[in-house]
Structure 1
Amino acid sequence: MSAAQLTAEEKQFFQENGYLIKKGVYTQYELDRLSKEYVKIWIELLAEGKILQNPEKPLTSLYPNRLRDFHRGNRTITAFMLKTEAISLLESLIGEEPLAIQSGYYYKPPGSRGLGFHQDNYHIGVSPGTSYAMWVSMEATNAENGSLVFVPGTHQLPLVSSEVVPGSSDAYGSEVLRVPEGYEKIQIETEAGDVVFFNGNMYHGSTKNRSEHRYRRSFVTHFAPARTEKITLNYGQLVGKDGRRVRRKLNTEAKIMEMEQSVFHYQDASFYDQIIKGVTDR
């Protein structure tokens, strides 16, 4: 069985647990090429003074929590995001074509905080149904450098508003979901090139990078099923598997509209907020 195919057992595991780790979907060459593209973007941000180092946080201040949506206008990033084998796997899991909503590249250097439990579709607002994530491990991840944490089975639960839990030093923000009674969390491990697929209603997060020298780089794309009628996030900037731009109606009744703040209101560098000149591969 190749990395581009799913077994019946893998499909069943995804349906029952809400996530699936698929080994070796991306090659080291592909990972290196994507990383070099983001290094160029990062250097340009530094040169333009859009990233400033804080002497008290020398590493974490140098890296935005994520570089968001730089696939727009960039053929290298878009090609990585829409790799045929990876999209085919997701399409097989959800039973229809996935439409890319947004992309994000995370460096997560040593000392970086994790992210409390949340549900992606809370802020993405796919309707009907839910969103899906494709999380690419750029290097090995485990508990030491802050790998992903899931609460299996919670993908079958409805979207829930976060609770305010102040005082945490391990996670960005103070609004998190508590593990529901009867469910247990697990922390996964991945190798470079592995892909983690997970459902948009799944409770998930990550832990603090407690290592001294290891980063936890990853590239994540969120997707909507083709049958989606409305969506809140980037509703006019969806991308089909052939690279075409797709539009859907704006979902003005998404769950996130109930709250002014959300766990996603942490600082990042986006395509719109940080315009990169001379870097994107047009």
Structure 2
Amino acid sequence: MTEALIALTEEQVNQFRTEGYIVIKGLFSQEDIRTIEDTFEEMSHKAVPGYFEPDLSGETDDPLKRYPRVMHPHRFNETSKKYLLHKPVMDVLADLYGEEALAAQSMFYYKPPGSRGQALHQDNFYLQVEPGNCIAAWTAIDAANEENGSLLVVPKTSEHEISCPEIADSTESFTSHFVKPPKDQKAMPVIMDKGDVLFFNGNLIHGSYRNKTKDQFRRAFICHYANASATHISDHYRPLFRQDGTAVDLEINPDGGPCGVEFDMAYPH
């Protein structure tokens, strides 16, 4: 490697390049986790049109209607923007990219008891970062395991081309897209403790289990980034931000991807 690493070892960077993902233990302090918990607990009791629209009637049988994911909370909540640009995360990303990272998206998943998982998919199908790729930073706000719906990854699929998805099983997935893993490659669970962060490549095939518990949430703060040398991204992820909060407005990617321009690319991860 030609440049000095900031946060990782060469072994860790090589693992990311080979496997397509890496878990960094305890990257968020327990104080940071409590701040995020408190922020999204307060947020869960009110709607933010266009970003978070829970069914607060008390009449829904679908836990994900009461606790849907929050999209782009950094656009209206300063705590979310602070942790989107969290220096320990940005330092890891700089090592993985070999250059500065640009923050493109934030999300919060409550994943309440009994909720469906998410079918296997690839992130850069949606973000369309070019040249380069997106990287996700998936922070465990609760410990994640096979019972409460941990993330699933298909190792070594980071070099797998972006695929046009099939239709997912709506009884198990709350999203409609499914990418079939290559033959003889299987999804494996990623077991995480509170404060751990999973970083993974935008081509990596991944998804999540259903939350099979009756009393455990599996909350996660999830952000997506692009490399600073990228010139294009999907319109839904602009503007991007440097670590200092400066906005960066990449060009809109006009490429329809493997499904063509008529396919609905607007369904964010």
Question: Which TM-score applies when normalising by structure 1?
Answer: 0.85
**Contact residue 125 and residue 265 of structure 2 kept, 8 A:** no
Quote the residue 1:59 is aligned against: 63
Distance across 2 between alignment mates of 1:59 and 1:73: 24
**Contact residue 102 and residue 234 of structure 1 kept, 8 A:** no
Distance across 2 between alignment mates of 1:241 and 1:106: 23
**Aligned positions of 1:167-206 closer than 5 A:** 167-206=169-208
Distance across 2 between alignment mates of 1:257 and 1:100: 26
Q: Closer, same or farther in 2 for the Cα pair 1:263/1:217, shift >3 Å?
A: farther
Match of 1:60, as an amino acid? L
Quote the residue 1:37 is aligned against: 39
Q: CA deviation at 1:130?
A: 1.3
Query: SS of 1:222's equivalent?
Result: strand
Query: SS of 2:225's equivalent?
Result: strand
Q: Closer, same or farther in 2 for the Cα pair 1:43/1:153, shift >3 Å?
A: same
Q: Closer, same or farther in 2 for the Cα pair 1:186/1:233, shift >3 Å?
A: farther
> Per-residue CA shift, 1:65-106, capped at 9, x if unaligned?
x11112124332211121111110111111111111110000
Q: CA deviation at 1:51?
A: 2.7
User: Which of the numbers 180, 191, 215 marks the counterpart of 1:213?
Assistant: 215
Match of 2:232, as an amino acid? K
Quote the residue 1:112 is aligned against: 115
Q: CA deviation at 1:169?
A: 1.5
> Per-residue CA shift, 1:105-136, capped at 9, x if unaligned?
00000111111111100011111121110110
Distance across 2 between alignment mates of 1:147 and 1:69: 22
Task: Say whether residues 1:131 and 2:134 are aligned partners.
Answer: yes
Q: CA deviation at 1:164?
A: 2.3
**Contact residue 124 and residue 231 of structure 1 kept, 8 A:** yes
**Contact residue 158 and residue 201 of structure 1 kept, 8 A:** yes
**Aligned positions of 1:2-151 closer than 5 A:** 5-45=7-47, 50-52=53-55, 53=57, 55-57=59-61, 59-64=63-68, 66-151=69-154
Q: CA deviation at 1:263?
A: 9.4
**Contact residue 119 and residue 177 of structure 2 kept, 8 A:** yes
Match of 1:33, as an amino acid? T
**Contact residue 99 and residue 238 of structure 1 kept, 8 A:** yes
Match of 1:144, as an amino acid? E
Deviates more, 1:232-241 or 1:246-255: 232-241
**Aligned positions of 1:241-280 closer than 5 A:** 241-255=243-257, 257-258=260-261, 260-261=263-264, 264=267
Distance across 2 between alignment mates of 1:137 and 1:17: 20
Q: CA deviation at 1:37?
A: 1.6
Query: SS of 2:44's equivalent?
Result: helix
What's the Cα RMSD here?
A: 2.2
Q: CA deviation at 1:264?
A: 3.3
Q: Closer, same or farther in 2 for the Cα pair 1:229/1:259, shift >3 Å?
A: same
Query: SS of 2:80's equivalent?
Result: helix
Distance across 1 between alignment mates of 2:175 and 2:123: 15
**Contact residue 236 and residue 266 of structure 2 kept, 8 A:** no
Quote the residue 1:229 is aligned against: 231
Q: Closer, same or farther in 2 for the Cα pair 1:178/1:252, shift >3 Å?
A: same
Distance across 1 between alignment mates of 2:208 and 2:180: 14
Gaps of 5+ in 2: 1-5
Question: Which TM-score applies when normalising by structure 2?
Answer: 0.89
Query: SS of 2:83's equivalent?
Result: helix
Q: Closer, same or farther in 2 for the Cα pair 1:179/1:29, shift >3 Å?
A: same
Gaps of 5+ in 1: 267-282
Match of 1:59, as an amino acid? P
Query: SS of 2:133's equivalent?
Result: coil
Question: What is the identity percentage for the equivalent residue pairs of Structure 1 and Structure 2?
Answer: 32
Q: CA deviation at 1:259?
A: 5.1
Q: Closer, same or farther in 2 for the Cα pair 1:125/1:141, shift >3 Å?
A: same
Task: Say whether residues 1:163 and 2:166 are aligned partners.
Answer: yes
The number of aligned residues is 259
